[in-house]
Amino acid sequence: MLGLYSREELAQLADSTNSKMLLSLDYFATVDRKYAFDKQKTAEFFDVFVIAYWNFYDLKNLRLSYYYDRVDTVTWDFHERIEIFPPREEAIQKASEISAVQFAGFLIPHWIAVERLYYRSGQIDLKKTDALVAEEKWLEAAEIWRKHVESPNKKIAAKSRFNMALACEMLGRLDAAVDWAVQSYLVFGQKNPVHEQNSLEYINILNQRKMDIKRVEYQFNPKSLPLQ
C-alpha cells in the first residue's frame, strides 16, 4: 500500500482521470478545548486544533511522492464575558474552513498584502507625488521623482531614488527597482543609519521577490529556466 492506495488503485485513477497527480486528504481530525486563566473566568478561551495530513501521489510513476502534515490553531477569546463562545459544531466548521484556506495558499501562488515604505518630502514639486501615490499613479509619480534623483540636496536625491525603486516595483520592473534602491543607499552609505537600514531591507525584499517569481515561473513551466 502507498498511503491509503495500492498501486493498482492509483493506476485505475490515472487511467480514468488522465491525471498526473492525486492530492489526497488521508487524515483529518479536530481537537477543541475551553479554558480560563483565573477562577473568576474574567478571560476565557476556546481553541480548535485542526489536524490534516495530505499525500501527493504521482500517478505517472504510481508512487507516493510527497506528504504534508499541518496543525492549525484557531482561538476565540472573550473578556469579562462580553461575548459568548460560538456553538462547538460551528467553531469546528469555521476553524476547518480557515485551515483549508491556509493550505490552498500553500499550494497555489497568490498575492498577499504587504506594506511598503516611501519617502514624503516638503519640497514643492515632490509634495505632488503624495496624491499620485494614493491613486496608484506610479508612472506620473516617477516622472516627478526622476527629476530629482541627481539633486545637490542629498536628502532629496536619496528619497527620490528610493521612491523610484518603489515605482519600478509597482510597475513590475524588479531589476530596475533593485538598481534604484542600491543607488539610493549609495547616496549616504553608512553615514545615515536609518536610511541605510531602509535601503538594505528593501534591497533584500526585492531580491527575494525576484527569486519567488522565478520559482513560480519554474512551477508553471519547469523547462523555461533553471531553478537555482
Cβ–Cβ under 8 Å, residues 92 and 114: no
Structural domains for the chain: 7-107 (no CATH), 124-219 (1.25.40.10)
Q: Any idea which residue has 543609519 for its cell?
A: 193
Give tens-digit pLDDT for 58-98.
Answer: 999 999 988 889 899 999 887 655 557 788 999 999 999 99
Count of other CB atoms within 10 angstroms of residue 173: 14
Give tens-digit pLDDT for 171-187.
Answer: 999 999 999 999 999 99
d(CA 123, CA 77): 48
pTM of the model: 0.64
Query: What is the identity of the amino acid at 129?
Result: T
- For 191-206, what is the mean pLDDT? 96
Beta-strand pair 43-58/63-79: antiparallel
Q: C-alpha cell of 57?
A: 501521489
